């Protein structure tokens, strides 16, 4: 089955890849993604300097999903820039995720990584886990101002990683802002921010930072992810490349993202649970579903969701 796709001008041998944050912080993790059957290597969101992140425990997986409050641990943009030539040797596109705790930090990280020309830059507007810092993607004015400045710095195709939206009015306003900003792709969704998972036996939260509040991922968030993929697919008339993220545990989940309009699909919680072998399993399961349904490629099913 042909699972290759054209994404924002970049050819991917497979429509599947890691979600930013999942097993992509260190050189070893990034090289493992290079050797695995992922269509691209996506880096952890990078800031200008190394960050150790929030205190442990900060990640917890449970039946149905995960909660995290990592707090942007990463090696720093200069270190990822230095790694890029080695990552290129795997012969697949590298997508650099860029973040910051201020506009100046976003610009500095973007400048450092753009200098070595990753294939795409994904601007993270949606980290929910920095104490005292709201998710920028929930503030249209702030997002507009930030993207306007990043546009001047990022000279490769630049997309945005958005938080989940729960009302069409927010998707409409965000789409209008992104149109104006001229983004090359939209990645939806980041984790569902500020959830709380409780261990009733120990009578405590399962992660330490922010009193236990953290971003939810995995199977439980799939309907929210699909709704956002579909909403942005329609708002851009099917002409905006969309990276679907959220709740991808099986090949059927990838297929559903495709039906809703995703051009390619990212895997977070399932990758953390299973390791990089997850890509091979998802490929096999997706291939079987597409063949059974009479599709000749993943691209053939894109956006084909029937509305009753
Ligand atoms: O590092 C994190 O805590 C984190 C980030 Cl940056 C993000 O974008 N999404 C998430 O769930 N965790």
CA dist 11 and 292 (Å) reads 25
What is the whole-number distance in angstroms between the Cα of residue 169 and the centre of ligand 1?
25
Q: Of 224, 222, 219, which is closest to residue 62 (Cα–Cα)?
A: 219
Closest C-alpha residue for ligand 1 atom 8: 127
What is the whole-number distance in angstroms between the Cα of residue 293 and the centre of ligand 1?
36
Instruction: Kindly list the catalytic residues.
Output: 127
Ligand 1 pocket, Cβ-based, cut-off 6 angstroms = 21, 45, 68-72, 99, 124, 126-129, 190-191, 215
CA dist 28 and 25 (Å) reads 8
**Tens place of pLDDT for every residue, the chain, 308 residues?**
999 999 999 999 999 999 999 999 999 999 999 999 999 999 999 999 999 999 999 999 999 999 999 999 999 999 999 999 999 999 999 999 999 999 999 999 999 999 999 999 999 999 999 988 999 999 999 999 999 999 999 999 999 999 999 999 999 999 999 999 999 999 999 999 999 999 999 999 999 999 999 999 999 999 999 999 999 999 999 999 999 999 999 999 999 999 999 999 999 999 999 999 999 999 999 999 999 999 999 999 999 999 99
Q: How far is CA 184 from the centre of its chain?
A: 15
205: number of Cβ within 10 Å: 20
Q: Which residues, 6+ apart, have CB-to-CB distance to 220 below 8 Å?
A: 64, 65, 247
Burial class (CB in 10 A: 0-12, 13-18, 19+), 7: buried
CA dist 302 and 199 (Å) reads 40
What is the whole-number distance in angstroms between the Cα of residue 295 and the centre of ligand 1?
35
Tell me the domain boundaries of the chain: 5-53+70-191+218-301
CA dist 133 and 136 (Å) reads 8
5-53+70-191+218-301 homologous superfamily = Aldolase class I (3.20.20.70)
CA dist 92 and 126 (Å) reads 26
Q: What is the pTM of this model?
A: 0.98
CA dist 231 and 246 (Å) reads 15
């Amino acid at each position: 089955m042909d699972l290759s796709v054209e994404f924002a001008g970049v050819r991917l041998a497979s429509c599947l890849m890691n979600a930013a944050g999942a097993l992509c912080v260190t050189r070893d993790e990034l090289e493992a993604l290079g050797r695995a059957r992922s269509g691209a290597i996506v880096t952890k969101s990078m800031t200008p300097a190394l960050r150790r992140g929030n205190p442990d425990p900060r990640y917890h997986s449970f039946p149905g999903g995960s909660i995290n409050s990592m707090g942007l641990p990463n090696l720093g943009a200069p270190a990822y820039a230095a790694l890029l030539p080695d990552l290129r040797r795997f012969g697949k596109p590298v997508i650099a995720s860029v973040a910051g705790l201020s506009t100046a930090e976003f610009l500095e990280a973007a400048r450092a990584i753009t200098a070595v020309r990753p294939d795409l830059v994904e601007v993270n507007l949606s980290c929910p886990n920095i104490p005292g810092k709201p998710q920028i993607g929930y503030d249209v004015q702030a997002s507009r101002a930030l993207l306007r400045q990043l546009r001047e710095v990022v000279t490769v195709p630049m997309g945005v990683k958005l938080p989940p939206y729960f009302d069409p009015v927010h998707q409409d306003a965000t789409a209008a802002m992104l149109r104006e900003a001229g983004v090359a792709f939209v990645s939806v969704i980041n984790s569902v921010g500020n959830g709380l998972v409780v261990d009733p036996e120990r009578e405590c939260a399962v992660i330490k930072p922010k009193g236990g509040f953290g971003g939810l991922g995995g199977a439980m968030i799939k309907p929210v992810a699909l709704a956002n993929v579909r909403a942005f697919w329609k708002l851009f008339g099917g002409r905006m490349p969309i990276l679907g993220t959220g709740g991808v545990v099986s090949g059927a989940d990838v297929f559903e993202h495709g039906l809703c309009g995703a051009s390619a699909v990212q895997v977070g919680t399932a990758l953390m649970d299973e390791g990089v072998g997850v890509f091979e399993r998802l490929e096999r399961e997706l291939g079987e579903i597409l063949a059974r349904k009479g599709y000749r490629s993943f691209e053939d099913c894109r956006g084909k969701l029937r509305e009753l």
